[in-house]
Amino acid sequence: MTRPRGEIRQALASSAWEIAGASPLGGATWREAAAHACVGFEAARQTWKDMVRSGQLVRVQPVRVAHASRAMSLCAPAGMAATRSAADAAEELITAMRRWREFK
């Protein structure tokens, strides 16, 4: 029997889905998710790390943020990242086929 998810983890997961779905980059930083979920930064930072380690979140890309001296990881929910990458691959294939048809 597994332990139920904590309130912070549930709030961050919900925020990650909402922010990543609306973001053109397809992800969120832990600070964005914490602010959106109204969760304390220290608790959110540790929980976010745990969510990445467990596979619930997937790192999409590093991103530079004005308030941070180092690049922060942009993460997306695991299910959304797989769907987005498949959609991106399909879009690239369609673009390549159009260009090939125009070239011919």
Average pLDDT, the chain: 84
More confident residue, 21 or 59: 59
Q: Are 65 and 44 in contact (CB under 8 A)?
A: no
Q: What is the pLDDT of residues 73-93, one digit of tens each?
A: 889 888 775 555 666 667 777
Token pair 């930072």 is at which residue?
45
For 7-103, give the CATH class: mainly alpha
Q: What is the pLDDT of residue 52?
A: 93
Q: What is the pLDDT of residues 32-51, one digit of tens each?
A: 999 999 999 999 999 999 99
Indicate yes or no: pTM above 0.75.
Answer: no
* pLDDT of 69 above 80: yes
CA distance 65 to 101: 41
The mean pLDDT value for 17-44 works out to: 88
